């Protein structure tokens, strides 16, 4: 079973439908006991960094999320769910994130001809192809983004990057903790393949 963490700031339904489409048993929950019983967990997110952290803490989900990651079971953050894994964001000064990974979340800088937010399809440069979300993915696949802030992480956790005025660290992985800035559930067949790779890890069939 894969738990989708519901904290009032996620694009829950589309993630749930995508996982069910590939044959996963899914439970949407904000119950820590249900989360800890899951074989894998997904943290989606849309909206602002500060609002998301306020909701997580108000629902007393911060400690259970950290405990789940510490358990070693596969964990996937999506979009804002990637950003709040880090320490802070320019979007919400003074608000601390989950601090599970090190890096900066910055505003995409304005530039001539560059629309912000970054909405639409963009290609990925896959930096680590040996397992994880990108197992058996080749070339420079296109995925779907919707965001105004981007991640600049420590290079050793970056698994894919995209270009949009600056280099965006579009996906990261540290052991069992994975996240992507783009929306795999909105990225067609390629996105479903990434979710299949994640699901395989929850069944012990892929590399974590």
Residues designated as active site: 79, 183, 185
Distance in Å from the first CA to the final CA of the chain: 17
**Strand-pair partners of 72:** none
Q: What is the chain's pLDDT, residue by residue, as a tens digit (208 residues)?
A: 999 999 987 679 999 999 999 999 999 999 999 999 999 999 998 889 999 999 999 999 999 999 999 999 999 999 999 999 999 999 999 999 999 999 999 999 999 989 999 999 999 999 987 779 999 998 999 999 999 999 999 889 999 999 999 999 999 999 999 999 999 999 999 999 999 999 999 998 766 5
pTM: 0.95
Q: 178 and 171 in contact (C-beta within 8 Å)?
A: yes
CA angle 85, 91, 95 (to 5 degrees): 60
Q: 46 and 78 in contact (C-beta within 8 Å)?
A: no
Q: 25 and 37 in contact (C-beta within 8 Å)?
A: no
């Amino acid at each position: 079973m894969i738990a989708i963490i519901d904290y009032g700031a996620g694009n829950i339904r589309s993630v749930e439908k995508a996982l069910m489409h590939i044959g996963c048993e899914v439970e949407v929950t904000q119950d820590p006991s249900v989360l800890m019983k899951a074989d894998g967990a997904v943290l989606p997110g849309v909206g602002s960094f500060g609002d998301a952290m306020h909701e997580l803490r108000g629902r007393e989900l911060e400690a259970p999320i950290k405990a789940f990651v510490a358990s070693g079971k596969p964990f996937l953050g999506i979009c804002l769910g990637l950003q709040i894994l880090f320490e802070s964001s320019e979007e919400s000064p003074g608000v601390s994130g989950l601090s599970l990974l090190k890096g900066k979340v910055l505003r995409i800088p304005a530039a001539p001809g560059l629309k912000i937010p970054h909405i639409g399809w963009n290609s990925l440069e896959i930096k680590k192809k040996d397992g994880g979300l990108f197992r058996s993915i080749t070339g420079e696949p296109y995925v779907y983004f919707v965001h105004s802030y981007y991640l600049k992480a420590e290079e050793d956790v970056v698994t894919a990057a995209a270009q949009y005025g600056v280099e965006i660290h579009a996906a990261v992985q540290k052991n069992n903790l994975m996240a992507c800035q783009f929306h795999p559930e909105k990225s067609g067949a390629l996105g479903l393949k990434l979710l299949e790779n994640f699901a395989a890890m929850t069944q012990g069939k892929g590399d974590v």
